Amino acid sequence: MEQSAPTISQFMTPTPYTIEPQAPLFEALQVMELYHIHHLPVLAGSKILGLLSLNDLRLIGTHAPEAFASRPVEQLMSRNPYCVTPETNLCTVTMHMADRRQNAALVIQDDGSLIGIFTDADALSAFAAHLAERWRSGPSSRSSDELGPREEAHRPLPRI
């Protein structure tokens, strides 16, 4: 029985928190800290304008802490964020993110409305689910060729 390739909809975070472009940076930081998130899509109404990351905020906070009081989110956000549909293949998205060193993809409907976000944390969850499925039977049922590098390192040495 062949399985279909997993899609982003299976691993995305639905209905992410968002922020408006004119909101001050300190407000974005408060939202991120309150909800323990690292990415905020920037929306004007329902239109996606960009993406703000916690890394962006940390960088500006280190170099220009006074900027938090006055600068709006739109001055620091990344424009034209990577967007995918819920049906996009998980492998395609993760490879794109890895190749371009992006930490998030916005998940949108055909009309361009935001319905979710897929982050590097979601990618790790997807990977963990894949490993759990692949290795659920445990190491005793696998051949020595299937052992991972950590298991290989912990294999008992042969007696001489």
Query: 25 in a domain, yes or no?
Result: yes
Range of the domain at 39: 8-153
Residue range 116-124: average pLDDT? 95
Which is nearest to 139 in space by CA: 149, 125, 129?
149
Please report which helix (H) or strand (E) contains residue 116, including its range: strand 114-119
Q: Residue 141: what pLDDT?
A: 47
| Mean pLDDT of the chain, nearest integer | 84
What is the band of 67 on the pLDDT scale with cuts at 50, 70, 90?
Answer: low
pLDDT band at 157 (very low <50, low <70, confident <90, very high): very low
Could you tell me which of 17, 94, 15, 93 has the C-alpha nearest to residue 54?
17
Q: Which CATH number characterizes residue 132's domain? A: 3.10.580.10
Helix 90-100 with 120-135: angle, nearest 10 deg? 130
3-state DSSP call for residue 12? coil
Q: How many other C-beta atoms lie within 10 A of the C-beta of residue 122?
A: 22
- Strand pairing of 104-108 and 83-84? parallel
Q: Which two tokens stand for residue 151?
A: 């298991």
| Assigned domain for 130 exists | yes
Does a structural domain hold residue 2? no
Q: Could you tell me if residue 160 is inside a domain?
A: no
136 falls in which pLDDT band (50, 70, 90)? confident
State how many domains the chain has: 1
Assess if residue 62 is contained within a domain. yes
Q: Is residue 93 part of a domain?
A: yes
pLDDT beyond 50 at 151: no
1 in a structural domain:
no
- What does the pLDDT average to over 69-82? 91
- Answer yes or no: are the C-beta atoms of 68 and 80 closer than 8 Å: no
Least confident segment among 18-27, 58-67, 73-82: 58-67
